[in-house]
């Protein structure tokens, strides 16, 4: 019997080819989607019924949010049922005293920002994909973004979660309590578990006052080394309050300029650029710092923006990198981190010892204030994708071995999903991986929830 016809109409089940193609994939382009059907439940109780249904029929189920992930964590490649959370769109009232907000998993990051802004508050997770990425997915992947340097990761900004387990059990963990030291923290176990332990259906988010005024600086530099010198000079030397500190190389800058038709704010090209945002107005301290960095040659050139439209224009160079690269060709992606103190040495070794092993040009950018670099490799036009992906995976081994020698991370913010599974053991020990397996086994003994992701 075809279980599809058993799915209640209230979940809007579909297996139209166009829906399967759209809802069965995320932003990765390495694998093809092959889901059996998609359902759209409206509340936690219906999500529980979907999971109980899948448990009864032994059907794999892939939770799906904004699908902006880059590691295949929301890909349905083996005939699973896709569980879309996009109809879980409740948006509660901002609590201006306790600084919390209850939201459904399907609300986008940007909608949360817009909802809190009139009260002078924000949920300080800022992602280039904020218009599409949804809260459930942000939490399930412990998403990073451009403000981790200042505010810390997503997991710091949650007080409560509602989660449905594979057998249909509904867990309410935490609510709006800021302090709660009672037993194991299941909430933090779920955050970052990439949908393999439970489905997050709603959350209570922690809020913080919007930053006071801020200034955005786009600086051109000769080497990443100078960028890291700037970071130390700004943070420790001048005691500037950094909201973001981002790096991108000139190849990323050229990609954004050609795809988005932006013109460079600089008279001359440079090897790299730093985009930094500093809290506060254009005070003498920032001006003096900027002048002294120019005079010492740490910065080659620079522009400062204080109005929101000018700030947006400078941020656009950074925020458009992923989409512009995607526009120019197929990209193989890595998202790596080492301790910031090692980043300069690591980046040199990456350029000199690893980059040549890849079959295409390497584009480097990322959240260098967090020690996090995105390593993108573009498929050469003449190379077939089926030759490109394996060649990249072979070169990845060199990158991961280098990372391992630094005690680095093979996935600083994008997670493991399907694509980075073979890399996991370069960052986590065998006993840790075994403990992860035991936790998975106890919550999902049939292995039906987001099957094949993170650990097999
Ligand atoms: C970013 O920082 C995202 O813009 C995407 O994490 C990184 O495309 C990438 O490799
Ligand atoms: Zn990133």
> How far, in Å, is the centroid of ligand 1 from the Cα of 160?
27
Identify any residues that bridge with 209 across adjacent strands, giving them in sequence order.
Answer: 121
Contact 215, 280 (CB under 8 A): yes
59 in helix, strand or coil?
A: coil
H or E element: which one contains 304?
strand 301-305
Distance 351 CA to ligand 1 centre (A): 19
Q: Whose CA is nearest to atom 9 of ligand 1?
A: 322
Can you tell me the distance from the alpha carbon of 17 to that of 167, in angstroms, rounded to the nearest whole number? 29
Q: How far is the CA of 192 from the centre of ligand 2 (A)?
A: 15
Model pLDDT, residue 282: 77
Q: Whose CA is nearest to atom 10 of ligand 1?
A: 374
374 lines ligand 1 (CB under 6 A): yes
d(CA 178, CA 95): 13
> How does pLDDT run along the chain (456 residues), one tens digit per residue?
599 999 999 999 999 999 999 999 999 989 999 999 999 999 999 999 999 999 999 999 999 999 999 999 999 999 999 999 999 999 999 999 999 999 999 999 999 999 999 999 999 999 989 999 999 999 999 999 999 999 999 999 999 999 999 999 999 998 999 999 999 999 999 999 999 999 999 999 999 999 989 999 999 999 999 999 999 999 999 999 999 999 999 999 999 999 999 999 999 999 999 999 999 987 888 999 999 999 999 999 999 998 999 999 999 999 999 999 999 999 999 999 999 999 999 999 999 999 999 999 999 999 999 999 999 999 999 999 999 999 999 999 999 999 999 999 999 999 999 999 999 999 999 999 999 999 999 999 999 999 999 998
User: What does the alpha-carbon distance between residue 277 and residue 246 come to, in Å, rounded to a whole number?
Assistant: 9
**CA terminus-to-terminus distance, the chain:** 29
Is the whole-model pTM more than 0.85?
yes
DSSP designation for 428: S
Q: Is the CB of 142 under 6 A from ligand 1?
A: no
How many angstroms does the Cα of residue 374 sit away from the middle of ligand 1?
Answer: 6
Give the per-residue pLDDT at 284: 85
CA gap 123, 108 in Å, rounded: 12
Q: Which two tokens stand for residue 154?
A: 């997503």
369 near 245, Cβ under 8 Å? yes
- What CA–CA distance (Å, rounded) separates 373 from 321? 13
Dist. CA 351 → ligand 2 center (Å): 19
CA distance 379 to 389: 9
333 CB under 6 A from ligand 1?
Answer: yes
Which single residue is written with the structure tokens 């929101």? 308
For residue 318, give the ligand 1 atom closest to its CA: 4
**What torsion do the CA atoms of 334, 336, 342, 346 make, to the nearest 10 degrees?**
-20
Q: How far apart are CA 385 and CA 382, in angstroms?
A: 10
User: Which pLDDT value is given to residue 1?
Assistant: 57
Residues 6+ positions from 172 with CB-CB distance below 8 Å: 160, 161, 162
**Closest alpha carbon to 70 in 268, 439, 273, 325:** 325
So what's the pLDDT on residue 181? 93
Atom of ligand 1 nearest to the CA of 335: 10
Give the C-alpha separation, 177 to 182, whole Å.
12
Ranges of H-type helices in 303-422 = 308-319, 321-328, 340-349, 385-405
CB atoms within 10 A of CB 267: 7
Cα–Cα separations (whole angstroms), residue 191 to 85, 196, 220: 16, 11, 37
Could you tell me the CA-to-CA distances from 188 to 155, 176, 184 in Å, in that order? 7, 14, 9
Backbone angles phi, psi at 183, to 5 degrees: 75, -160
Q: Is 322 in the pocket of ligand 1 (CB under 6 A)?
A: yes
What is the C-alpha separation between 180 and 160, in angstroms, rounded?
10
Q: Give me 169's structure tokens.
A: 């059990």
Q: Which two tokens stand for residue 275?
A: 């985009």
**Which tokens is 57 given?**
């029929």
The per-residue pLDDT for 285 is 87
Is the distance from the beta carbon of residue 67 to the nearest atom of ligand 1 less than 6 Å? Answer: no
Angle at 68 between CA 312 and CA 273, to 5 degrees: 40
- Asked if 13 and 38 count as a contact pair (C-beta separation under 8 A), the reply is yes
What ligand 1 atom has the least distance to the C-alpha of 144?
6
Compute CA distances 295 → 3, 90, 180, 272, 373, whole Å. Answer: 71, 53, 51, 18, 28
């Amino acid at each position: 019997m075809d279980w599809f016809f058993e799915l209640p109409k209230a979940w809007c089940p579909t297996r139209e080819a166009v829906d399967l193609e759209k809802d069965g994939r995320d932003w990765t382009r390495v694998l093809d989607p092959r889901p059996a059907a998609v359902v759209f439940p409206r509340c936690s109780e219906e999500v529980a019924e979907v999971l109980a249904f899948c448990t009864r029929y032994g059907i794999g189920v892939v939770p799906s949010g904004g699908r902006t992930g880059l590691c295949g964590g929301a890909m349905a490649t083996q005939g699973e049922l896709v569980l879309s959370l996009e109809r879980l769109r409740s948006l509660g009232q901002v609590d201006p005293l306790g600084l919390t907000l209850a939201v459904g998993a399907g609300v986008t990051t940007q909608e949360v920002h817009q909802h809190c802004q009139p009260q002078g508050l924000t949920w300080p997770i800022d992602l280039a994909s904020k218009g599409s990425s949804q809260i459930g997915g942000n939490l399930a992947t412990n998403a990073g973004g451009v403000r981790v340097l200042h505010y810390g990761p997503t997991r710091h900004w949650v007080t409560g979660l509602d989660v449905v387990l594979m057998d249909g059990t509904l867990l309410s963990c935490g609510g709006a309590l800021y302090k709660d030291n009672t037993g194991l923290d299941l909430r933090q176990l779920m955050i970052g578990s990439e949908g393999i332990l439970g489905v997050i259906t709603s959350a209570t988010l922690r809020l913080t006052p919007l930053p006071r005024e801020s200034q955005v600086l786009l600086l051109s530099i000769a080497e990443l080394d100078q960028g890291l010198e700037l970071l130390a000079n700004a943070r420790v030397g001048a005691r500037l309050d950094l909201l973001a500190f981002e790096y991108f190389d000139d190849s990323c800058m050229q990609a954004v300029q050609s795809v988005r038709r932006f013109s460079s704010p600089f008279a001359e090209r440079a090897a790299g650029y730093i985009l930094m945002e500093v809290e506060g107005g254009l005070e003498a301290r920032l001006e003096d710092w900027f002048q002294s960095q120019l005079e010492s040659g740490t910065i080659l050139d620079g522009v400062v923006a204080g109005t929101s439209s000018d700030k947006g224009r400078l941020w656009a160079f950074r925020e458009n990198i992923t989409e512009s690269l995607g526009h120019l060709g197929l990209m193989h992606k890595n998202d790596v981190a080492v301790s910031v103190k090692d980043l300069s040495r690591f980046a040199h070794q990456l350029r000199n010892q690893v980059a040549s092993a890849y079959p295409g040009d390497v584009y480097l950018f990322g959240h260098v204030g967090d020690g996090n670099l995105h390593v993108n490799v573009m498929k050469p036009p003449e190379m077939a994708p089926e030759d490109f992906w394996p060649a990249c995976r072979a070169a990845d081994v060199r990158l991961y071995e280098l990372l391992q020698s630094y005690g680095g991370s093979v996935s600083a913010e994008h997670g493991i999903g399907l694509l980075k599974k073979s890399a996991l053991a370069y960052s986590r020990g065998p006993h840790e991986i075994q403990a992860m397996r035991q936790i998975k086994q106890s919550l999902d003994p049939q292995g039906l929830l987001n099957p094949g992701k993170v650990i097999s």
